[in-house]
Amino acid sequence: MTPSGRSAPTCRARSRHRTGRGRLARAVRYAGRLLCWSLGTAMASAATDLLLAPHAQWWSYAWPVPWILTCVSALTWAVLRACEKNAAHSSTDVEDPHRDEWEHAA
């Protein structure tokens, strides 16, 4: 609170405009979360299919969907993570102009 008794505006630690690396990191996180949740759903649907053996006509089409989503999200996560690592690697080279001199000295 301020001395006058009013509450001060909150300070936002992060701006709404993200940089390229921030967007990429967020995309990697979301892809990883999607991978985990789709894998969990796929295992639950496989257990349901095995233990309960549902006889609904739509079930034969529905239970493989989480497995397909798991494969797609795993590929997406792998590509995004590789891009994130590549971006981090290239940014360290730009930030440190004396890196070549250090490697040569070693």
Asked if pLDDT for residue 36 goes beyond 90, the answer is yes
pTM: 0.66
Mean pLDDT of 43-61: 94
pLDDT computed for residue 71 by the predictor:
97
Quick one: CA torsion of 15, 20, 26, 32, rounded to 10 degrees?
A: -170
The amino acid sitting at 2 is T
Q: How many helices (H) and strands (E) does the chain have?
A: 4, 0
Among residues 1, 88, 7, the alpha carbon closest in space to that of 96 is found at 88
Residues 6 or more apart in contact with residue 49 via CB below 8 angstroms: 59, 63
Mean pLDDT of 60-84: 96
The amino acid sitting at 11 is C
What would you measure as the largest C-alpha separation in the chain, in angstroms?
A: 71
